Amino acid sequence: MSSNHHHVDNQRDPSGYLETAIEKIIFRSRWILSIFYLILVATLLLVCIKFLQEFFHLATTFWGASDAEFVTGVLQIVDKTLLGNLLILIIFSGYENFVSIIGTARFNPDRPKWMGGVDFANLKLKLIGSIVALSGINLLASFLEIEGVNKDNLGWMVGIHITFVFTGLIFALSEKVMHSNSGHE
């Protein structure tokens, strides 16, 4: 009935046609974002190539590497893995939150359990958490190879990492407060 009423209104009011046309354009414009997600898929492929490159480097230097160099190599591989996980999270969650539900995955038994359950606030929290983890890995790698690290850069890295941690905590607390306040209304 509502769509018929809207249709009748459009017949009486020519501006209704314009309004409907504008709303359709705005609603369909979300599909422009699909280009962004396809580019992120291509970026995931580049991260995979970098991952393989890091692994190849670790494997070829394994026998001559010091413990610190070995751990740094492993941390670089973990870093790329976390980055790949982050990209998948952003691709799936962003697409489903802003473009369309991924229908091909709806009844697939391989569908990740979190898929479809990460809203925009959760996505931001996971993004901040991933940035803190990536920053921590890079900071730890720098500490392991402290001899070759510029001490001024190390101070900046620690400061930036603390800023990320602080920002993540503030954001998580604000989301918790907002969530608990919305439950009382």
Q: How confident is the model at residue 183 (pLDDT cuts 50, 70, 90)?
A: low
Tokens 């009935």, located at residue: 1
- Closest by CA position to 115, among listed 100, 96, 140, 141: 96
How much of the chain exceeds pLDDT 70, in percent?
89
For residue 1, pLDDT over 50 is answered with no
For residue 83, pLDDT over 50 is answered with yes
For residue 8, pLDDT over 70 is answered with no
Q: Give the chain's end-to-end CA distance (angstroms, integer).
A: 32
Average pLDDT of the chain to the nearest whole number: 83
CA dihedral (152, 156, 158, 162) in degrees, to 10, reads 160
Residue type at 67 in one-letter notation: D
> d(Cα 58, Cα 72) in Å, to the nearest integer?
9
> d(Cα 112, Cα 93) in Å, to the nearest integer?
11
Give me the pLDDT at residue 72, please: 87
In this structure, of 36-40, 110-114, 163-167, the range with the lowest mean pLDDT score is 110-114
- Give tens-digit pLDDT for 33-57: 999 999 999 999 999 999 999 999 9
For residue 179, pLDDT over 50 is answered with yes
For residue 84, pLDDT over 60 is answered with yes
- Closest by CA position to 130, among listed 47, 64, 14: 47
